[in-house]
C-alpha cells in the first residue's frame, strides 16, 4: 500500500497545528465578544436535508460526499454549517429568537482543489436568526474587520445586495426564470473577459442587445444607481439601493468605510441570499481568493420551518484554510517554553516541571539521556526559548542555570524564583 493523503486533505504537524489553533482561538474569542453562543452539529446528515434547498442541477449537489448506511438510507457529509443550523432551529421550537450562534467544524466538498481551497476543511461560522435590519449587517462587517485585524490581516470588504442585482437583470427585460443563472454569470465579471461573459449569456438564450445593456448596467457606483433609478417603479432595485444606503451610513459613521468597497457584480455563488452580501479579501493580496464571506438569507429557515412565521437570518463564514495559508510562515511558533535536562536528577526535575506546569508553562523533560550538546541543538532547532540542565549541584544549591536560546544569555535563577523569571521573560 502506498502511503499518501487523499487529494485536497492534509496532515498538520505540531508547528502547523499551533498556528491553526491560534487562529481558531482568536476567532472563538471574537465571536463570543459579539454575543454569539457555541453550537455543535453532526457531520453526518440525511442527504435530503443537505439537498432540499437546491434544484437537481445545482453545482453544490455535485460536491456533496454521498454515502449509504447499513439501513440503505441516503446520507451525506455536510458541505457547510448553514443547513445544520436551520435544522437546529427546526428541531428546537423553544429557542429564544433572536438566536446567535457560532460553530467551528469540519465540512467536506468534492470540488476542485487550489491554493486556499481543499476538500476537507474547517468552517468558522457566525449566524443570527430573528433580526432583519442593516444594523446587524454592519455589526457583522465590523466584527470581521476587527477579527481579521487581530489575526494580523487587514482586509477589504466587498459588498452588494441581491435585490439590486435581481432588479437590474429584470430592468433589461430578462425572463424571471433566468435571473438566478444570470446572477451566476454576472458574478464572474471581474474574473473573465467580456467576450466570455457574452458567450455564457448567449447560451441562456438572451439576445445581444439585452446582454450589452445588462453588462453596461453593472458598471455604476451606488450614487449613480440612486440617480438613475430615482423615479423608477422597479421595487427590487429601489429596495436594494435603500438597504445599501442604510448599510453605507453605518459603515461611514463607524469609520470603516475606507475598508469597504461597493461591488455591484458581487453575488456570492449560492442562491440562498436575499439581500446584503459581502466577501473579505486580503489587502496585501497574498492570496487571491476570499478569506471569508456571508450575507442575508431570509428564506431558508422560513421555508424550512413552514409555519407561517418569518425567520430572517444573516451569517458569515471565516475561512480557516486561506487564513492559515497567509499566516503559516509569518512567524516561528514556540511550542515549548522550557526544556529541562536531568543529569541523574529525574525525580527532582519532575517536581520542578510540575510546579511550572501548574503555573501554565509548557515544559518538556529530556527522557532519553541525550548528550547535553545534543539537547542544546534540539532546543535551537525546535525554537525552544529556555533550556536548563539540572544536575546534583543545581539541586543541592536550589539554583538553576537557565539559558535563553534566543538572546544567547545564561541566567542564574533560584528554583523558588523560576516561575517569576519565566513570567517576566517568556515573551521578551
Q: Model-level pTM? A: 0.86
Query: Which residues is 258 bridged to in the sheet?
Result: none
pLDDT attached to residue 41: 97
User: From CA 412, how far away is CA 415, in angstroms rounded?
Assistant: 10
Q: How far apart are the first and last CA of the chain?
A: 48
Enter the C-alpha cell of residue 272. Answer: 440562498
Tens of pLDDT along the chain (428 residues)?
Answer: 899 999 999 999 988 898 999 999 999 999 999 999 999 999 999 999 998 766 666 777 889 999 999 999 999 999 989 889 989 998 998 899 999 999 999 999 998 887 657 899 999 999 999 999 999 999 999 999 999 999 999 999 999 999 999 999 999 999 888 998 999 899 988 888 989 999 999 999 999 999 999 999 999 999 999 999 998 999 999 999 999 999 999 999 999 999 999 999 999 866 789 999 999 999 999 988 899 999 999 988 888 888 888 999 999 999 898 899 899 876 667 789 999 999 999 999 999 999 999 999 999 999 999 999 999 999 999 889 999 999 999 999 999 999 999 999 999 999 999 999 999 998 87
Q: In CATH, what class is 338-425?
A: alpha beta
pLDDT attached to residue 428: 76
User: From CA 269, how far away is CA 63, in angstroms rounded?
Assistant: 14
User: From CA 136, how far away is CA 218, in angstroms rounded?
Assistant: 27
User: From CA 203, how far away is CA 184, in angstroms rounded?
Assistant: 13
Q: Are strands 363-365 and 338-342 parallel, antiparallel or unpaired?
A: parallel
pLDDT attached to residue 247: 97
Q: What is the DSSP string of 3-67?
A: --PPTT-----HHHHHHHHHHHHHHHHHHHHTT-EE----SEEEHHHHHTTS-TT-HHHHTS-EE
Extents of the domains making up the chain: 14-327, 338-425
> Does the bond joining 98 to the residue before it have cis omega, within 30 degrees of 0?
yes
- Number of other residues whose CB lies within 10 A of the CB of residue 360: 11
Output the CA torsion 137→139→142→147 (10° steps): -110
Residue keyed to cell 534566543: 406
Could you please state the CATH topology (level 3) that the domain comprising 14-327 is classified under.
Answer: BirA Bifunctional Protein; domain 2 (3.30.930)
Dihedrals phi, psi of 207, to nearest 5 degrees? -75, 160
pLDDT attached to residue 270: 67
Domains 14-327 and 338-425 are alike in CATH topology: no
- Answer yes or no: are the C-beta atoms of 104 and 24 closer than 8 Å: yes
Q: Give the list of residues 6+ apart from residue 256 with CB closer than 8 angstroms, or none.
A: 141, 142, 145, 157
User: From CA 377, how far away is CA 72, in angstroms rounded?
Assistant: 57
* CA 22 vs CA 126, 243, 328, 333: distances in Å: 18, 36, 11, 10
Q: Give the list of residues 6+ apart from residue 355 with CB closer than 8 angstroms, or none.
A: 418, 419
User: From CA 405, how far away is CA 402, in angstroms rounded?
Assistant: 9
Amino acid at each position: 500500500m502506498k502511503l499518501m493523503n487523499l487529494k485536497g486533505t492534509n496532515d498538520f504537524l505540531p508547528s502547523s497545528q499551533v498556528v491553526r489553533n491560534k487562529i481558531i482561538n482568536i476567532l472563538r474569542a471574537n465571536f463570543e465578544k459579539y454575543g454569539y453562543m457555541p453550537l455543535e452539529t453532526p457531520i453526518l446528515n440525511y442527504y435530503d436535508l443537505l439537498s432540499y434547498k437546491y434544484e437537481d442541477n445545482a453545482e453544490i449537489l455535485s460536491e456533496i460526499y454521498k454515502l449509504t448506511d447499513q439501513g440503505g438510507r441516503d446520507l451525506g457529509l455536510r458541505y457547510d454549517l448553514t443547513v445544520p443550523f436551520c435544522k437546529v432551529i427546526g428541531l428546537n421550537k423553544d429557542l429564544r429568537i433572536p438566536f446567535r450562534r457560532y460553530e467551528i467544524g469540519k465540512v467536506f466538498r468534492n470540488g476542485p482543489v487550489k491554493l486556499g481551497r481543499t476538500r476537507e476543511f474547517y468552517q468558522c461560522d457566525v449566524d443570527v436568526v430573528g433580526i432583519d435590519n442593516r444594523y446587524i449587517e454592519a455589526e457583522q462587517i465590523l466584527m470581521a474587520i476587527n477579527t481579521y485585524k487581530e489575526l494580523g490581516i487587514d482586509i477589504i470588504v466587498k459588498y452588494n445586495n441581491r435585490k439590486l442585482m435581481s432588479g437590474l437583470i429584470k430592468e433589461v427585460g430578462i425572463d424571471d426564470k433566468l435571473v438566478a443563472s444570470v446572477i451566476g454569470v454576472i458574478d464572474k465579471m471581474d474574473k473573465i473577459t467580456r467576450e466570455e461573459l457574452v458567450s455564457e449569456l448567449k447560451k441562456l438564450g438572451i439576445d445581444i442587445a439585452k446582454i450589452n445593456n445588462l453588462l453596461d448596467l453593472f458598471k455604476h457606483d451606488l450614487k449613480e444607481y440612486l440617480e438613475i433609478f430615482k423615479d423608477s417603479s422597479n421595487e427590487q432595485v429601489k429596495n436594494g439601493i435603500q438597504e445599501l444606503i442604510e448599510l453605507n451610513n453605518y459603515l461611514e459613521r463607524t469609520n470603516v468605510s475606507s475598508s469597504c468597497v461597493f461591488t455591484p457584480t458581487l453575488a456570492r455563488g449560492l442562491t440562498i441570499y436575499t439581500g446584503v452580501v459581502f466577501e473579505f479579501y486580503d489587502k496585501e493580496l497574498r492570496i487571491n481568493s476570499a478569506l471569508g464571506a456571508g450575507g442575508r438569507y431570509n428564506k431558508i429557515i422560513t421555508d424550512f420551518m413552514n409555519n407561517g412565521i418569518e425567520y430572517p437570518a444573516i451569517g458569515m463564514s471565516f475561512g480557516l484554510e486561506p487564513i492559515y495559508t497567509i499566516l503559516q510562515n509569518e512567524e516561528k511558533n514556540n511550542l515549548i517554553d522550557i526544556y529541562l535536562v536531568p543529569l541523574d536528577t529525574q525525580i527532582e526535575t519532575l517536581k520542578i516541571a510540575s510546579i511550572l506546569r501548574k503555573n501554565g508553562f509548557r515544559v518538556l523533560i529530556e527522557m532519553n539521556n541525550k548528550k547535553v550538546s545534543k539537547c542544546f541543538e534540539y532546543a535551537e532547532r525546535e525554537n525552544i526559548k529556555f533550556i536548563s540542565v539540572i544536575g546534583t549541584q543545581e539541586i543541592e544549591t536550589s539554583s538553576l542555570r537557565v539559558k535563553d536560546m534566543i538572546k544567547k544569555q545564561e541566567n542564574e535563577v533560584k528554583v523558588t524564583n523560576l516561575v517569576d523569571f519565566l513570567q517576566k521573560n517568556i515573551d521578551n
